[in-house]
Homo-oligomer: A and B are copies of this chain.
């Protein structure tokens, strides 16, 4: 990124994808959007400098970790410099003239369709059809202009393609969030970074993980999430990706990290990034706040 130019931010999906909501959250002022067809393309865009940042989904509160993104992140030399949490609110989107009575087919990404099973159970005449993309399905619906066809996608996608929102909150579980990592080629030192992600590989011996976690437990550092990914070519061996609630500036944190690195059980050790955590308010917590 040079001077006052807008940052170029890559995300996976078409315009209007939920990933785009994460970009707007992380760059509220302005950003040059670079939609990428798949996760490989997303990581290529930043590695070969067509983008300054990439926004990659790492986990959804219902579906779990986005395994392919974890693998691409661990294979890359990129750094996590921020994160965003997007509430996944599925809308039913049709063209002019469409209504719940006219539509017979609803296209969307398979994960989105799977998250709206109650809707399909309540509307047995409407058939779900898998598509590559949530937002891309809206584009398709608007291109065909067929009142029998609708899509499931974000409200933002309806706006971008001029679709009509026929129903909101189609998701079975209200507590549906996706967490995105903001990736950059260089780390960013930030005084308000309160979260840290590291990746470890461990010797194949009893107590290895327990030993590696000891410095964190002793320093009272909260382990927010652990993710285990297989190491290609070494069957039944794994890398551990650990998210910690930890201020990088805190000397107790740097001591604990040093101790982990010196553990006999720890082989690979890398800090993937230190960054400000996204506002972690769940639906329930937000309601509790609102009623106080």
Residues of A within 8 A of B (CB): 59-65, 67, 71, 173, 175, 177, 204-211, 213-214, 216-218, 220-230, 232-236, 238, 240, 280, 282-283
Contacts and interface: CB of A to CB of B under 8 A. Distances in A.
A64 B67 contact: yes
A204 B223 CA distance: 9
Which one of A175, A206, A232, A238 has the highest number of Cβ atoms from chain B below 10 Å of its Cβ?
A206
A214 B210 contact: yes
Contacts of A175: 232-235
Given A207-B218, A211-B217, 5 more contacts: A177-B235, A225-B236, A226-B228, A226-B240, A227-B228
29 contacts: A59-B230, A60-B230, A61-B232, A61-B236, A62-B230, A63-B67, A64-B71, A64-B229, A64-B230, A65-B228, A173-B233, A175-B232, A175-B235, A206-B221, A206-B222, A207-B213, A207-B218, A207-B220, A209-B213, A209-B223, A210-B213, A225-B228, A225-B238, A226-B226, A226-B228, A226-B238, A226-B240, A235-B282, A236-B282
Nearest to A214: B210
A227 B227 CA distance: 7
A216 B225 contact: no
B211 A207 contact: no
What 4 pairs across the A-B complex have the smallest Cβ distances? A207-B217, A210-B217, A210-B213, A61-B235
Contacts of A62: 230, 232
How often does this chain occur in the complex, in copies? 2
A225 to B, nearest CB: 7
Contacts of A67: 63-65, 67
Contact of A209 (B177, B226, B282): B226
A173 B62 CA distance: 31
Which one of A209, A210, A229, A232 has the highest number of Cβ atoms from chain B below 10 Å of its Cβ?
A210
B207 A216 contact: yes
A231 B63 CA distance: 10
Contacts of A214: 210
A120 to B, nearest CB: 14
Contacts of A207: 213, 216-218, 220
B280 A236 contact: yes
A43 B276 CA distance: 41
A281 to B, nearest CB: 9
